[in-house]
Structure 1
Amino acid sequence: MKSYRYLDLITALFVVVLIASNIASTKVVLLGPFTFDGGTLLFPLAYIFGDVLTEVYGYKKSRRVIWTGFFLLLLSTLTFGLVNALPAPSDEFSQKSAEAFSTILGLVPRIVLASLVAYFVGEFVNSYILARLKVATNGRWLALRTIGSTLAGQGLDTALFLLIAFYGVWDNSLLWTVFVSNYIFKVGIEVLFTPLTYTVVSFLKRAEQEDYYDRNTNFNPFSVR
């Protein structure tokens, strides 16, 4: 099996971005005309890492990283839930700390489910489309492939998360406002970072001596072969 110098580093960065953005998503923020959860500031980087992984290493390696992120995200949320469920000492400082922890990191089952489902669907759709487009274009037009896959992946990710987490909790007008803001911002970040994506992809292809084409790949996300 071929070894890679930077695959582990990219996997670690991907997972850190994923978990940090999910923690930050507990706060809704305003940035100019946009209204979105705080995780949106960082989460688009997860899709950029996903693009880089699939473009350089192929869908199979990307699938493994996506599953790694999924299980580590699940582990982190279960850990937060366990800590939140355990009692705190009765002194004032400990009680206030426990209340603050519960407010920020206490598990809300709908949000956990929404985050996991949206991540799973969005990342695999993004990776699948990018891999298929790379073969169809014979490796040309990287910007078209990264932006096109992000349009689909981020659209599904954002829609599924908001519908599962907040449908019936927020009114429909707020849901729509947050969806539009999130989607425009996430895709905008992808477009803005396209030159950097080109640079990173070019560097990795040279350093790793790899430029994988998924011509005979099994695209089943549950495949372990």
Structure 2
Amino acid sequence: MNEIIWFSMLIFCLISILACYRLFGKQGLYAWTVMCVILANIQVMKLISLFGMTATLGNILYGTSFLATDILSENHGKKDANLAVHIGFFMLLMMVVVMKFAILFIPNPHDMAHEALSKIFGLTPRVAGASFCAYASSQYHDVWMFHLLKDKTHDKHLWLRNNVSTMVSQAIDTGIFVGVAFYGMYPTNVLLSLFLSTYVIKWIVALGDTWCVYLARKWFREGKIRTEAEYIVR
């Protein structure tokens, strides 16, 4: 059942990010990026068995954050894509700090949520640092490589820059997070297994979102994406 649920969630998320873009323009992609970064860091706490491997949740949502920056890069430019990365990083930091404050409150004797919240949001500085480093490094690299390939291919081969930039960036993200968060805690073979299983799943997500970039570009060129001015007028 896990594989069926996983593919169903992937399809739902890909359709949802396109809906965000169609309905709200690039602001919808900014909002999607924030949601992905926050929820992926919550979902990653859950271990599952998937495709015969031990993996964490959060890979679909986190993978679609790269899709968001690729759409922004293609249709709106490098500055808008980097802005999404800035916003995502800042809101991730705010989430960690605010939830740290929430955990500090002494719970009421009748409280039922404190223990669960402490387990989910009580990240050690090492894990939190790994998450921040991996996110910033991989996302900025994704935007940089996307535009490098766009310049090299003279605006052709969208599938190439979408997949190559995302897959390389996902490898950077996975390597940094696994290395910083877990080095010294597990044997090398376990770290390698965790890296490979996580990256393979992210690779599937990256490969499956190519059609979304093409559709988003088609909508943008046909003038079907709303702009800030349209919302101001209404």
> TM-score interval w.r.t. the shorter chain?
0.7 to 0.9
Distance 2:43 2:157 in 1: 34
Name the counterpart of 1:16. Answer: 35
**TM-fit CA distance, 1:175:** 1.4
How many pairs align? 202
Q: Superposition pairs for residues 27-176 of structure 1, below 5 Å?
A: 27-89=46-108, 91=109, 93-94=110-111, 96-176=112-192
In the alignment, which of 183, 193, 196 is matched to residue 209 of structure 2?
Answer: 193
Distance 1:176 1:7 in 2: 37
Distance 2:197 2:131 in 1: 18
Name the counterpart of 1:219. Answer: none
**TM-fit CA distance, 1:204:** 2.3
**TM-fit CA distance, 1:143:** 0.7
Amino acid corresponding to residue 94 of structure 2 in structure 1? L
**TM-fit CA distance, 1:36:** 1.9
SS at match of 1:30: strand
TM-score, normalization by structure 1:
0.85
Distance 2:41 2:168 in 1: 20
Distance 2:60 2:193 in 1: 16
| Higher share in helix | 2
Amino acid corresponding to residue 130 of structure 1 in structure 2? F
SS at match of 1:29: strand
Partners of 1:18 and 1:46 within 8 A in 2: yes
Distance 1:87 1:192 in 2: 45
Q: Does 1:181 align with 2:200?
A: no
TM-score, normalization by structure 2:
0.82
Query: For structure 1, which segment, 194-203 or 177-186, has the greater mean C-alpha deviation from structure 2 after superposition?
Result: 194-203
In the alignment, which of 45, 67, 70 is matched to residue 26 of structure 1?
Answer: 45
**Residues 108-148 of structure 1, C-alpha deviation per residue, up to 9 Å, x if partnerless?**
21111111110000000011000111111111111111111
Amino acid corresponding to residue 74 of structure 1 in structure 2? L
Partners of 2:60 and 2:205 within 8 A in 1: no
The percentage of counterpart residues that share the same residue type is: 27
Gaps of 5+ in 1: 210-225
Partners of 1:52 and 1:197 within 8 A in 2: yes
**Residues 149-183 of structure 1, C-alpha deviation per residue, up to 9 Å, x if partnerless?**
01211010010011111111222222111111111
Partners of 1:80 and 1:107 within 8 A in 2: no
Gaps of 5+ in 2: 1-23, 226-234
Partners of 2:146 and 2:161 within 8 A in 1: yes
Amino acid corresponding to residue 48 of structure 1 in structure 2? L
1:105–1:138 CA distance, 2 compared to 1 (3 A): same
Distance 2:222 2:88 in 1: 26
**TM-fit CA distance, 1:49:** 0.8
